[in-house]
């Protein structure tokens, strides 16, 4: 890969500046906007192709990324071996970071999570991502990374994550990758009984003013942290909350009406107080209308540099009622996820299929490599054609199932090492 890097001393000078903020291929175009370049001055988002729709050329300007799942928000189902055997979060009722910290106590717990952070993703992972042509990481975060807003007497979370986030983002920035930070775990938990919130809450406690206020404090803190640390310079997007309730009831209505504008304003007012100019604002990202919480734009008075997140799991979608290989390809080959919200990134998707069929001979990963390869190609072709690109869930797992692990899928020959080969794969011929 090093041979692809073209050295120019003048471009290196650009690296000295801090605080990037734009969607690659869009704002690179604005006069005065900064370039997304790695430490060798190579731009993964090559703006010379923008406007020509050459989406399958190298450096096409489309997001091709992976989520760093289970790093800062541990999801035991993704890495149950480490959870049980290394971290000793074993036993019934230890379903989340909160539960694990309750069991281990602050001292042992902090050291245990520190060890996890230092081993789950390393600089070598980023080299591997670059070698596969990936240009983006999305990093799920919990609000507790801002230690000033945690109620330490009643909320049990590991301390010290921000320093590790800085290091991890430095690895991504050095390699010219675009970084999306997402508030994955919201104060009070945005959904019940799901470890992705960091806690296994019996009910979703997020939808009230004091929790919204803590969340906006977190976003202001995060925006300042991005500005203050050179390692964070390739952060271009901050998502205000991951996967809130999927209904249009009073709680989600109140969230869209109250929290969404407040979250947008918190990030913008932080930027203004830091003297950041509009060219260097981050994108503020919301789950899109398709997610099911309602129209994210309805109550925004300003959507300058707003962006939208689509999570596309056919596994759970009524759009894929024909659970067959052909049925899946028919949906994915024409899957326009842009909808009413633009720009949209497909920020999560996988190769997993419904629980009740996933180990049948028709769907088991070991006997269906050709299908999964074709389906991956179909998905990313649509997500690049209709949307701004894609971010796979997730980079690695301990499941032994490549349908949830990008690197395992590459190893299995399901995801090509050369993503540009997909355009001519014919994966959607006849669909």
Ligand X SMILES: *[C@@H]1O[C@H](CO)[C@@H](O)[C@H](O)[C@H]1NC(C)=O
Contact set with ligand X (CB under 6 A): 6, 42-43, 46, 48, 59, 336, 338-339, 386
C-alpha 339/C-alpha 291 separation (Å) is 11
Q: CA-based angle 45:131:35, to the nearest 5?
A: 20
**Least Cβ distance, residue 41 to ligand X (angstroms):** 7
Dihedral in degrees, nearest 10, Cα atoms 66, 71, 77, 82 = 130
Q: CA-based angle 259:265:267, to the nearest 5?
A: 105
C-alpha 64/C-alpha 133 separation (Å) is 8
**Least Cβ distance, residue 129 to ligand X (angstroms):** 18
Of residues 42 and 126, the one with the C-beta less far from ligand X: 42
Strand partners, 15: none
**Least Cβ distance, residue 34 to ligand X (angstroms):** 13
The phi and psi torsions of 392 (rounded to 5 degrees) equal -75, 145
Of residues 77 and 386, the one with the C-beta less far from ligand X: 386
68, 137 Cβ separation under 8 angstroms: yes
**Least Cβ distance, residue 167 to ligand X (angstroms):** 26
**Least Cβ distance, residue 237 to ligand X (angstroms):** 21
372, 401 Cβ separation under 8 angstroms: no
Of residues 266 and 422, the one with the C-beta less far from ligand X: 422
**Least Cβ distance, residue 25 to ligand X (angstroms):** 12
Tokens 């998905």 locate to 379
**Least Cβ distance, residue 45 to ligand X (angstroms):** 9
Is residue 384 part of the annotated active site? The answer reads no
Is residue 348 part of the annotated active site? The answer reads yes
Of residues 55 and 166, the one with the C-beta less far from ligand X: 55
Catalytic residue among 231, 239, 348, 384: 348
Segment (H or E) for 236: strand 235-239
C-alpha 401/C-alpha 315 separation (Å) is 15
140, 181 Cβ separation under 8 angstroms: no
**Least Cβ distance, residue 121 to ligand X (angstroms):** 26
C-alpha 409/C-alpha 64 separation (Å) is 15
Catalytic residue among 75, 243, 271, 384: 243
Of residues 161 and 343, the one with the C-beta less far from ligand X: 343
Segment (H or E) for 115: helix 106-120
C-alpha 417/C-alpha 276 separation (Å) is 38
Q: How many Cα atoms within 13 Å fall on the side-chain side of residue 409?
A: 31
Q: CA-based angle 348:349:352, to the nearest 5?
A: 140
Of residues 50 and 254, the one with the C-beta less far from ligand X: 50
C-alpha 335/C-alpha 337 separation (Å) is 6
Of residues 48 and 118, the one with the C-beta less far from ligand X: 48
Of residues 15 and 353, the one with the C-beta less far from ligand X: 15
CA 27 distance to own-chain centroid: 20
Report, as residue numbers or ranges, the catalytic residues.
243, 348
């Amino acid at each position: 890969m090093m041979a692809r890097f073209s050295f120019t001393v003048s471009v290196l000078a650009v690296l000295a500046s801090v605080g990037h903020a734009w969607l690659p291929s869009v704002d690179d175009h604005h006069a005065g906007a900064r370039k997304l370049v790695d430490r060798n001055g190579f731009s993964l988002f090559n703006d010379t192709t923008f406007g020509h729709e050459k989406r399958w050329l190298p450096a096409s300007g489309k997001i091709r990324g992976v989520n760093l799942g289970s790093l800062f928000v541990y999801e035991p189902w993704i890495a149950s071996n480490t959870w049980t055997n290394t971290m000793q979060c074993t036993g019934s009722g230890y379903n989340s970071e909160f539960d694990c910290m309750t069991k281990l106590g602050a001292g042992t717990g902090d050291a245990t999570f520190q060890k996890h952070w230092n081993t789950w993703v390393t600089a070598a992972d980023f080299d591997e991502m670059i070698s596969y042509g990936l240009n983006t990481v999305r990093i799920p975060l919990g609000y507790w990374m801002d230690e000033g807003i945690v109620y330490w007497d009643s909320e049990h979370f590991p301390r010290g994550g921000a320093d590790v986030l800085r290091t991890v983002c430095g690895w991504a920035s050095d390699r010219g990758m675009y970084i999306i930070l997402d508030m994955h775990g919201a104060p009070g938990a945005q959904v019940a009984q799901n470890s992705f919130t960091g806690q296994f809450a019996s009910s979703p406690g997020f939808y009230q003013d004091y929790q919204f206020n803590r969340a906006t404090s977190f976003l202001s803190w995060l925006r300042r942290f991005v500005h203050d640390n050179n390692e964070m310079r390739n952060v271009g997007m901050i998502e205000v909350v991951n996967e809130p309730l999927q209904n249009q009831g009073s709680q989600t209505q109140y969230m869209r009406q109250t929290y969404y504008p407040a979250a947008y304003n918190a990030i913008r007012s932080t930027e203004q107080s830091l003297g950041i100019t509009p060219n260097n604002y981050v994108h503020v990202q919301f789950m899109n209308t398709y997610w099911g919480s309602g129209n994210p734009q309805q109550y925004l008075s300003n959507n300058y540099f707003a962006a939208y997140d689509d999570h596309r799991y056919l596994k759970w979608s009524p759009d894929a009622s024909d659970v067959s290989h052909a049925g899946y390809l028919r949906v994915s080959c024409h899957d326009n996820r842009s909808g009413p919200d633009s720009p949209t990134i497909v920020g999560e998707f996988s190769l997993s299929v419904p629980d009740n069929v996933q180990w049948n001979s028709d769907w088991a990963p070991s006997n269906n490599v050709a299908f999964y390869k074709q389906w991956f190609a179909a998905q990313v072709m649509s997500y690049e054609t209709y949307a701004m690109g894609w971010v796979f869930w997730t980079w690695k797992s301990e499941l032994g199932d490549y349908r949830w692990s990008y690197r395992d899928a590459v190893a299995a020959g399901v995801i090509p090492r050369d993503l540009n080969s997909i355009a001519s794969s014919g994966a959607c011929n006849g669909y």
